[in-house]
Amino acid sequence: MIAPGLTPAVQVSPLQSPATPETLLSAEAQRFIDDATNRLIAGDELPRDYPITLKSLPPADRLLVIVHLRRMGFLTTVEMPIDWVMDPAVPPSAQPAAVPQATAPKSETTR
């Protein structure tokens, strides 16, 4: 029983963040998602070096973008080791990291 005048604590699941979606992603991460969304709508594929460009994001943003892209159907055949995903951000002008390799042959239905 709850004492009069007290309200129960509201429990928020870690998956149900009270933050708005706009505050969950940095502006740079949102640009990656917007670019991929525009390509999907236009029927285009992502460039082969797209995973390399993701290295410019901090690991937390990179992971969110990868999850979003995979839910859109992109990068589904690319194996991305957790060490690669969680590596510190690399400035775009730095030496690029190796591109994660596809795990299955690319077909017309695979993005």
What is the percent of the chain where pLDDT is above 70?
A: 61
11 lies in some domain: no
**Is the model's pLDDT at 48 over the cut of 60?**
yes
Range of the domain at 93: 25-111
86 lies in some domain: yes
Q: DSSP readout, 38-105?
A: HHHHHTPPPPTTHHHHHTTS-HHHHHHHHHHHHHTT-STTB---HHHHHSPP--TTSPPPPPPPBSS-
7 lies in some domain: no
Q: What confidence tens digit (pLDDT) does each residue in 5-34 have?
A: 555 555 544 544 555 555 678 999 999 999
20 lies in some domain: no
